[in-house]
Amino acid sequence: MKLPILTALLLAPLAALYAADAPSLQPPQHLGPPKAEHSATNRAFTGIPSMAVAPKGRLNDTTLRCFFVCEDQSGKRQSQTWYRDFDIASLTFSPDIHRVKLKTSDGTFDMQPQYFYADAAKHGFKQPAKAFGLYLLDAFKVIDGKTYLAINNFPGAQNALAMLNESRDTIEVIGHYNEPAERRLTESSVNRLPDGTWMAICRIESGDRNYVFTTSKDGKTWTQGEPRPFVTKGSNSKPTFDKFNGLYYLGWQEATRITDGHGVGRYIFNIEVSRDGVNWERKYRFESPNSFQYPTFRQHEGSIWFAVTQGTGGSTDRIMFGKLENLSGKK
């Protein structure tokens, strides 16, 4: 397979899609300056890529369900995952937000790190607990009519295969994969191979920081994470693992420095492809002096589209949107 030379991409900011539409939500009422415990340095709102959760990208014909996290990174209180629905026709959000639930072997709870940690600890996890950092980081994947994803706690170095219920309001933990714990597996992406085996690619924070892979026959019991020969010189950044038209797309950040001397590890992003999850070959290599990181790939009407964050010096100054390829092969 020839490797396309991607010298330029016609990208446009996501916001430009609706730039001509005036916001329809009323501005919030100002109640005065925030108290010390609510200061901007003490909280973070984390938007999650791939917010649409139904097979065709919608909760129903007119609604997108969007997930986000409210957290206090000082660890003084538990973070909470919420959802809010977005009406496509009117381009407005619902006035209501709702708590997402987390289902573990102990029961169903508010989606907070303490319950994710307690379930992992029952299965042998021994790292310190964290009160923040629990995210729906992976893209949603519909397999045999069920919606799967990987969830993680970044500061806690926890990962798990999970399933979204039919009501799209509860995340059920299926199995944890965190070993070897000393490598600190922090972000991952998961998919199911043709023989039924689950496989996850995991970002790590120690050693050479190259990615490791773990597999499971049932989604519950996982192997120790180990590197694979088709991914080398990886950097500690979020991977992707999708499947489009029977072909797996595995995306990962390379740490190699580009020739312009910037030297930041998120300027190169590679995509390997495979039909069986065993034999892989390179299909795309993105190089950009403005970084290319945390992409999300989605299939829509015969094409693969993506959103990616870009910035200078490793920061994330903007979100870009573009088309990767037409699956039909037509231009």
Helix, strand or coil, per DSSP, at residue 278: coil
pLDDT computed for residue 267 by the predictor: 84
CA distance 238 to 226: 17
* Confidence at residue 133, expressed as pLDDT on a 0 to 100 scale: 95
pLDDT of residue 315: 60
**What's the CA dihedral at 304, 268, 12, 8 to 10 degrees?**
-90
What whole-number percentage of the chain has pLDDT above 70? 77
Lowest-confidence region among 44-48, 137-141, 189-193, 253-257: 44-48
Q: What is the band of 217 on the pLDDT scale with cuts at 50, 70, 90? A: very high
Q: Which two tokens stand for residue 134?
A: 């629990």
- CA–CA distance from 10 to each of 164, 232, 306, 316 (Å)? 34, 29, 12, 19
What is the C-alpha separation between 18 and 22, in angstroms, rounded?
Answer: 8
CA-to-CA separations, 302 to 4, 126, 164, 324, in angstroms, rounded? 19, 45, 25, 11
In the chain, the largest separation of any two C-alpha atoms, in whole Å, equals 61
Per-residue buried b or exposed e for 246-269, using 16+ beta carbons within 10 Å of the residue's own CB: eebbbbbbbbeeeeeebebbbbbb
Residue 82 CA to its chain's centroid (Å): 16
pLDDT at 259: 57
- Nearest to 99, CA basis, from 171, 41, 160: 171
Instruction: Please count the other Cβ atoms lying within 10 Å of the Cβ belonging to residue 78.
Output: 17
pLDDT value of residue 154: 94
- Mean pLDDT of the region 191-207: 96
Q: State the pLDDT at residue 170.
A: 97
Confidence check: pLDDT of 34 > 60: no
Q: pTM for this structure?
A: 0.81
Write down the mean pLDDT value for the chain.
82
Q: What is the bridge-based pairing of β-strands 281-287 and 101-104?
A: unpaired
Confidence at residue 44, expressed as pLDDT on a 0 to 100 scale: 39
Q: Mean pLDDT, to the nearest integer, of 48-60?
A: 43
Contact 318, 310 (CB under 8 A): yes
Q: Per-residue pLDDT for 87 more than 50?
A: yes
At 265 the pLDDT is 59
Q: In whole angstroms, what is the distance from residue 24 CA to residue 18 CA? A: 12
Residue range 264-323, pLDDT digits in tens: 558 889 999 999 999 999 999 998 877 888 899 999 889 999 999 887 755 667 888 999
